[in-house]
């Protein structure tokens, strides 16, 4: 277990909500909202990597963008390095941009096709520093070295690079201002597997060298297992489980996490064949009309009556291991064998 008290919280997200309004009808009146991120809280400690996983459409990317205030958040607070940025106006926020940066999912789309690599990487420098052209170029070259790009490529355009190289350009741009916190929004999803490893290793290497803190958004559970220190699992706009990596992968508490983990393929065919998969039925409900009670109640294999009416609160089952599930709300201490506990609790609640 991580020793939480000794480490400083770099990022604190509390009750973050990001709702996108839906306008419809002749008068374009507001008829509802997409609850992309609905009341989530988590902390990221300095120097760690928090993995954020979940299936597509569950609000991972929105969450990452909302944390960096690329959207105007609906509710909640985001504190980065002791500075509350959740309600700050964009003009004031601009001054704090250097400490938080983002690496994007699609390395092709995240680079301006009309700018050379040197200009792309130096854009943050132009915006936030008064460096002379010579110093800027020197810094660009330094960054290109850091991410493993040949300096001679400085005058080329993004379309002349491979996906992995483009992602390196994106990383170099994110590093330009020596940020403390980087949101990696599925940085490896658009790359093929051999390149994924390179990019992830580069990210880890840079973290060691520069003491970076990552919020690593991904749907690739094995990659998250490789890079993250702690993992948050999202489902339909909510964090259903947040735990240190080893604890999460060894003893997943939330039924959704169990299902997700059981879907990870194993390279060993004998293990793969014997593996019991938790197959979820049905689709993810619409985030504009989430089910009453627990968001997962429509697909949960262990659903109970209470799940359909009451939204579960987040409980800490073990130090640093949080989950939001009714299976655990009554007894906060859990035995190691969680299936027994679940069964026990189920009958408990059915008896009520």
Partner 1 sequence: MTDATLSREKPRNQWLDVWDQFRSHGGAFWGAIFFLLVILSVLLGPLIYPHDPTLVPTGRDFIRLKDMRPIYTALWDSGAKVSWAHPLGTDQIGRDTLARMLSGGQVSIAVGLAAMALSLFLGTLVGVTAGYFKRLDGILMRLTDLFLALPLLPLILVAVLLFREVLSATFGPEGGIFVLIVVLIGFTSWMQTARIVRGDVLALKEREFILAARSIGTPNRRMILRHILPNVLSPIMVSATLGIAQAIITESALSFLGFGFPPDFPTWGRLLFDAIDRMVLYPERVLWPGLAISFTVLSVNYIGDGLRDALDPRIRGR
In angstroms, what is the minimal distance from the CB of 171 to partner 1? 12
Q: Is 157 in the site for partner 1 (CB under 8 A)?
A: yes
**DSSP of 203-250:** HHHHHHHHT-EEEEEES-HHHHHHH-SEEEEEETTEEEEEEEHHHHHH
In angstroms, what is the minimal distance from the CB of 80 to partner 1? 13
Judge contact between 202 and 173, C-beta under 8 A: no
Instruction: Name the DSSP letter for residue 14.
Output: E
Q: Is 94 in the site for partner 1 (CB under 8 A)?
A: yes
Per-residue x/- marks for partner 1, 221-260, CB under 8 A?
----------------------------------------
- Contact partners, residue 197, CB within 8 Å, separation at least 6: none
Q: Is 155 in the site for partner 1 (CB under 8 A)?
A: yes
Instruction: Name the DSSP letter for residue 294.
Output: S
In angstroms, what is the minimal distance from the CB of 111 to partner 1? 6
* DSSP SS3 for 91: helix
β-bridge mates for residue 79, sequence order: 12, 84
β-bridge mates for residue 32, sequence order: 22
Nearer residue to partner 1 within complex by CB, 72 or 192: 72
Q: Is 276 in the site for partner 1 (CB under 8 A)?
A: no
Task: For residue 287, give Cα distances in angstroms to 34, 180, 236, 238, 284.
Answer: 5, 32, 6, 10, 8
The burial of 311, by beta-carbon neighbours within 10 Å (0-12 exposed, 13-18 middle, 19 or more buried), is given as: middle
In angstroms, what is the minimal distance from the CB of 209 to partner 1? 22
- Give the count of residues interacting with partner 1 (CB under 8 A): 39
In angstroms, what is the minimal distance from the CB of 89 to partner 1? 13
Nearer residue to partner 1 within complex by CB, 118 or 236: 118
Nearer residue to partner 1 within complex by CB, 72 or 343: 72
Choose among 22, 98, 59, 86: nearest CA to 234: 59
Task: For residue 46, give Cα distances in angstroms to 6, 95, 324.
Answer: 11, 21, 25
Q: Is 70 in the site for partner 1 (CB under 8 A)?
A: yes
Indicate which single residue of 35, 60, 65, 321 sits in contact with partner 1 (rule: CB under 8 A): 65
In angstroms, what is the minimal distance from the CB of 344 to partner 1? 48
Nearer residue to partner 1 within complex by CB, 160 or 272: 160
Nearer residue to partner 1 within complex by CB, 40 or 118: 118
Nearer residue to partner 1 within complex by CB, 127 or 272: 127
Nearer residue to partner 1 within complex by CB, 51 or 124: 124
Cα(101)–Cα(109) distance, integer angstroms = 17
Interface residues with partner 1 (CB under 8 A) are: 65, 68, 70, 93-95, 97-98, 100-102, 104-106, 109-116, 118-119, 122-124, 127-128, 133, 137, 151-152, 154-155, 157, 159, 170, 173
């Amino acid at each position: 277990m991580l020793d939480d008290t000794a480490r400083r919280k770099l990022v604190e997200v509390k009750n973050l909500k990001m709702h996108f309004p839906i306008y419809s009808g002749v008068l374009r009146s507001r008829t509802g909202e997409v609850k992309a991120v609905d009341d989530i809280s988590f902390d990221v400690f300095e120097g760690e990597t928090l993995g954020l996983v979940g299936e597509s459409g569950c609000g991972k990317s929105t969450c990452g963008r909302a944390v960096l205030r690329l959207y105007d958040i609906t509710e909640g607070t985001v504190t980065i390095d002791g500075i509350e940025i959740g309600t700050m106006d964009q003009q004031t926020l601009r001054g704090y941009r250097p400490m938080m940066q983002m690496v994007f999912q699609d390395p092709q789309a995240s680079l301006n096709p009309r700018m050379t690599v040197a200009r792309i990487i130096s854009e943050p420098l132009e915006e936030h520093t008064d460096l002379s052209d010579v110093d800027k170029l020197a810094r660009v070259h330094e960054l290109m070295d850091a991410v493993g790009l040949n300096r001679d490529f400085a005058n080329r355009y993004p379309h002349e690079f491979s996906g992995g190289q483009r992602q390196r350009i994106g990383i170099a741009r994110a590093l330009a201002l020596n940020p403390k916190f980087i949101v990696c929004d599925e940085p490896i999803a658009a790359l093929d597997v051999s390149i994924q490893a390179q990019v992830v290793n580069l990210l880890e290497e840079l973290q060691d060298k520069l003491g970076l803190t990552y919020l690593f958004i991904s749907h690739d559970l094995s990659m998250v297992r490789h890079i993250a220190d702690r993992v948050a699992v999202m489902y339909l706009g909510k964090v259903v489980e947040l735990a240190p990596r080893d604890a999460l992968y060894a003893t997943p508490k939330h039924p959704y996490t169990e299902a997700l983990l059981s879907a990870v393929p194993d390279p060993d065919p004998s293990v793969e064949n014997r593996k019991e998969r938790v197959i979820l039925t049905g689709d993810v409900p619409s985030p504009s009309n989430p089910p009453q009670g627990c968001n997962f109640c429509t697909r949960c294999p262990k659903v109970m009556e209470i799940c359909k009416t009451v939204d579960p609160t987040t409980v800490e089952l073990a130090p640093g291991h949080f989950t939001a599930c009714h299976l655990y709300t009554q007894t906060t201490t859990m035995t190691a064998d969680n299936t027994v506990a679940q069964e026990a609790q189920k009958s408990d609640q059915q008896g009520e």
